[in-house]
Amino acid sequence: MALARCGEGNAAVPAFQRALGADPTRFGSGIMLAELLRGRGETAAAEAVVNGLRAIDGDAEALGLLEIAESLLNLNRLKDAQDQIRQAAALGTRALEVRADVLVAVASELNGGSAYTEACDWLNSFPFLVNHAQAEGERGWALFFAGQAERAEPVLRHALELDQDLRPGFPHYLLGQIERRRLNIPAALSHFTAYVERHPTGSLSFYARVFIAQMQLLGGEPQAALTALDAMALPGVPEPVALRAMVHLSLGNKAAADADAGATIRDTGNESWLRLFAGIVRLSQGRTADALKLLPDKAYPWAAPALSRLGRACAFLAQQNTDEARRLVQTVRQEEAEATPLALAQLGPLAAPLRSSFPELG
């Protein structure tokens, strides 16, 4: 493969022949060998190779193209891999079903590159993948991060029905986020806990633990949340500290809340969603100008939906700027309505003037 890609076709031919001699089912090597032989004008020899592959498996050509696609994916040549898969698809569907893992790997690469719509389109082009657990996990991931949580939810639940221990797509984690947004605390806790139990070293297990602590806080268990966050606290790691500020605030530990807010501001960049928690602490201190700097007119869809704008509205109400507060409330109702209960719960008693001035918030 390396020789062929470097343009050393004559040297690659015997290497492919030796590969097939050792393992005749290396269909990708056979397809590459036949292509090189044709390029040298050895048509009869190329046909002999292809016929030998077909004698082993009638779908050998398509399977070989998928093997080549897998190799290209490993070299980060996504578009080339997709082209190979499309060629394989033109030969029938059986090989695609046998090597569905390669199709799903393409979707995973697309999701990893934030090409969520393209990932959905890719998966939708292979209808049989609807019963493939990993494919449904990737589809749910793509829909969720494309801002289509309602469409993602049944897909993620179907993925779990197919495989409860599914890792790609992290359905438990994403369902936890969907239920958290609705302030469905028991369901959110169940999904986040399931993710941590199944994937304790998974890439999102740290955040799952953070959100477990948040659900414990909002569910009336601040001491359990504090214990969990203290156990996660590490130098230079701002997430537990930022949320711990909210726990201390709920417990009336004003000095501790202020210290955690200060550390969060110090250890995070200006665009960090974690600063929103520090903004809430500043709001509780009556420092509305500081709160407004930390609570931008911006959505944080998965991390802190509706919190920044509603916290900002609280600050404007405190400054008697009702018009700006009303505008923010209307924006939230239009763009982040489902997350309003979660944001109001995080604001706690600070949201009382907001609820009183805008009863439509519920």
User: What is the pTM assigned to this prediction?
Assistant: 0.84
Q: Residue 35 in contact with residue 65, Cβ under 8 Å?
A: no
Q: How far apart are CA 94 and CA 105, in angstroms?
A: 18
- What letter represents residue 357's amino acid? S
Contact (Cβ atoms closer than 8 angstroms) between residue 217 and residue 248: no
Instruction: List the Cα angle 183/187/191 in 5-degree steps.
Output: 115
Residue 233: the pLDDT is 83
For the chain, which ranges sit under pLDDT 70? Answer: 167-169
Q: Which residue has the tokens 């696609």?
A: 69
The two three-digit tokens of residue 248, written as one number: 């201390």
Q: What is the pLDDT of residues 118-176, one digit of tens each?
A: 999 999 999 999 999 999 999 999 999 998 999 999 999 999 999 987 766 689 999 99
